[in-house]
Each structure stands twice: as structure tokens, then as C-alpha cells.
Amino acid sequence: MITVSDNIKNITPYVPGKPIEELERELGISGSIKLASNENPLGPSPKAMTAIKKAVEGLNRYPDGSGFYLSQALAKKYGVEISQVVLGNGSNELIELLVRTFVQPGDEVVSADPSFVVYKMITQAASGVNVVVTCKDMRHDLDAMAERITPKTKIVFIANPNNPTGTINTTIEMDRFMSRVPDHVVVAVDEAYFEYATHADYPDSLDYLKENKNVVALRTFSKIYGLAGLRIGYGITTAEIAELLNKVRQPFNTNSLGQIGALAALSDRKHVEKSVALNNEGKQFLYHSFQRLGVSYVPTETNFILFESPRDAKELYNALLKTGVIIRPMGAKRLRVTIGLPEENARFVAELEKIVKA
């Protein structure tokens, strides 16, 4: 009989949403819309699609193990050395690489709640100790998180903007926090949604690298670049940390189409600008709709909105599901909806209104 340690046995797995096709088959419906996974409703850049199609014939070859051209382009874009860039199979893999590299059994990892659950899952799998600090006003309580740092702390994860709340911590707050972080701690700033942030006081975590801080900026092509299906993310950090992560990283962790698509997407500024504009328009529509319906929500700096359910969240989720509108339940009281195309947003609001007023 096989046995595993309790830290593995007791992990609560991440539960992804079912494919639309399977849900439609189960419920006997069609024409569903998915507003559950924070994907870009515009899809990938046309430049990325063209590059990917051209690259398909070369799939008999292994990908570039170092991701040289994409890493070079990222280094140029952000004004860092190529030695400071690490590619990942989505930014999720980079989270795992960080934990595998720096966390030994009994070491501590500080994160927030609510925030991205993967931080805690991977720490538990590595026999690390999760030190979880409750958010304050739906934002990371950075002062409280700094207080929880001990000699055993190896990593602090900060999602900025945060998932699932959509909130940010400001430059002043981050500056104060970073001034309190000791040299033995790595600060991983998860910025999967940073391109959507419009707040004037939103900080740039790369500034801390210029101060020789142990910071890793985690970013992705899955969100605003619309390449979630190709799983391509990247980290920007110090050359020393990057070298250590690359010792642990598998040699072909990012695939050829992901690298090529990301490289082309990176050059399509117009697609990014169009995506931001569409998101801001949809955000305001949903704000006004929630206000009209008397539904409480958290103002967002991302492409999703966390809102209070007027009834049990699971009940509301299932009611919407039966109408072909798929969103994400977030506990007993809240749900998260991705900002979609105008017609998708309108359909979500129309179905929500029917349920709320029933």
C-alpha cells in the first residue's frame, strides 16, 4: 500500500471550471458564456495568431530551452538584463519554482487571505508552513504581513492587483513594507493583472530591483495578451535569484508556440490598448448595473469584479449556470465575474436581474 505525507494528503486541490461543452451537455443548454476565469474576451493578438500558425510545422523540434528570443525581448522592454528573466509554464510554475528553490520543511511562507490559493497549496506540498494574514478592507494588510516575518520566513507572496478581490496596494504602502523586509526573505509580487491597473498610485515592483531588493515580479501572457491556453509566464528578478530558479526549472518548460506567440504579442501594443479600453468600458457598465440592482461590489483594478451575493453564492451561481452564464463562486457570500464583451456583460446583468428580482 502506498503512503504519502499528511501535507500532501490534506491538500485541497484547485478546482477549475468545467469546459463549456460539458456543462451544456449536462444541463441540456447551448450558447453559454464563460465569465469565470478572467480571460481576455478579445482573444490573442492577431500578430500572435499569425506567428503561431506559421510555427506549427516546426512542432517536431524541441522548443528553445532557454527561451532566448522571448527573454531578450522582455529584458529590452523592461530595461533589465536577460540574466534577470525566467520563463515559466504560466506564472503558476514560477510560484512553484520559488517554493521548491527556497522553502525547506518547516520554513515559513507569508501570504494573504483572500488571495490566490496556489501560494498556500504549493507551500503545503513542500512541507512549508503557511502564515496567512487576513486582508484588511479587501486589500493586503502589508503592515500586519511585515509583523509576521520571522527568521524562518523564506518567501512573502503579494498579489498586486489581488485575485479575487481586484484591489491593489499603493506605492507608499509597498515602500513601507519593503523597508521592513530583511535580506533573507524573497518578496514575490504576483502581477498577473498589472496591465489592467489604472490607479495613479499603483507601484512598479521593478523599482525595488534597482534598490537590490530580493524581489521577483511574476507576470503572464495568460491575461491581457489572451494566451492562457499556451501557458506562458515570466519572472523578472535579480540575476542571483534567476540563476537559482533556472537550476530547478525543467529545460523545456515553455513550449514553442507559447514562446513564439508571446514574442509576437509583446510587439502588439494596439491590442493591449484595445483590451484595456474594452475592460474599462465593461467595468463601468457593471458598476452602474450593480448599483442599480443594489448589489455590493469591490471596485477593481483588474478584468474581474468581486461582488456580494444577494442570496447564498452557490445558489446564485447555479441559477446563473442554468441560464448559460458561468461565473465563479468565492465562498458562501461572494462571487467573481470576469468583465467580458459588451453583449456578454449585458446578458450577465439581465440574467442576474431576473434572479435578484424573482
Task: Write the pLDDT tens digit of every residue in 263-291.
Answer: 999 999 999 999 999 999 999 999 999 99
Q: How far apart are the first and last CA of the chain?
A: 53
Do both 50 and 37 map to the same domain? no
Please check whether residues 236 and 280 belong to one and the same domain. no
Whether residue 129 is found in the same domain as residue 165: yes
Out of 266, 295, 315, pick the residue that ends a domain: 266
| pLDDT band per the 50, 70, 90 thresholds, residue 58 | very high
User: Grid coordinates representing 197?
Assistant: 491597473
Q: Are residues 198 and 220 in the same domain?
A: yes
Residues 285, 312 within the same domain: yes
The answer to whether residue 1 is domain-embedded is no
Query: In the prediction, which pLDDT does 105 show?
Result: 96
**Domain carrying residue 349:** 6-43+270-357
d(CA 48, CA 45): 5
**Are 244 and 192 part of one and the same domain?**
yes
Output the domain CATH number for residue 291: 3.90.1150.10
Is 52 in the same domain as 108? yes
Q: Where among 237, 266, 295 does a domain terminate?
A: 266
Q: Return d(Cα 74, Cα 217) in angstroms, integer.
A: 12
The DSSP line for 138-171 is TB--HHHHHHT--TTEEEEEEESS-TTT-----H
Q: What predicted TM-score, i.e. pTM, was given to this entire model?
A: 0.95
Please state the domain count of the chain.
Answer: 2
What SS3 state is found at 338? strand
How far, in Å, CA of 111 to CA of 95, rounded? 12
- pLDDT, one tens digit per residue, over 103-149 is 999 999 999 999 999 999 999 999 999 999 999 999 999 999 999 99
pLDDT tens digit sequence for 4-40:
788 887 877 776 766 788 778 888 888 899 999 999 9
